[in-house]
């Protein structure tokens, strides 16, 4: 199975495929590491233009504000067990 893109969506797909028992998995990423958009925009002070809770429904009503805006892509890929299944620095 091939997943195109090593951003957070691709990592999530890889993790779910692993959970479903897919062993022959390859994540193909253009960049040299995980993170998608956030891989290409790594510079001091880089932030999202709005608070992360805005992207999620009803958080204001339940009183939950996430402690971090984004999880770390490398840590997420390792935890999900998909880092060894990724080919980075690829171009079409």
Q: What is the pLDDT of residues 31-75, one digit of tens each?
A: 877 777 766 666 666 666 666 655 655 555 666 555 554 456 667
CA distance 92 to 55: 31
Q: Which of 3, 11, 73 is nearest to 38 (CA)?
A: 73
- Which pTM value belongs to this model? 0.50
Which domain covers residue 69, as residue numbers?
2-87
Q: How many domains does the chain have?
A: 1
Is 34 inside a domain boundary?
yes
Do the domain assignments include residue 92?
A: no
Six-digit token string for 19? 């959970």
* Mean predicted lDDT score pLDDT of the chain: 73
For residue 54 the two structure tokens come to 């805005």
């Amino acid at each position: 199975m091939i997943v195109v893109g090593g951003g957070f969506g691709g990592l999530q797909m890889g993790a779910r495929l692993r959970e479903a028992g897919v062993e022959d998995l390859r994540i193909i990423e253009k960049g040299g590491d995980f993170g998608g958009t956030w891989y290409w925009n790594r510079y001091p002070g880089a932030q999202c233009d709005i608070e992360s809770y805005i992207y999620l429904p009803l958080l204001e009503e339940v009183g939950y504000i996430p402690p971090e805006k984004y999880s770390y892509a490398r840590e997420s890929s390792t935890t999900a067990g998909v880092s060894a299944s990724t080919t980075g620095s690829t171009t079409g």
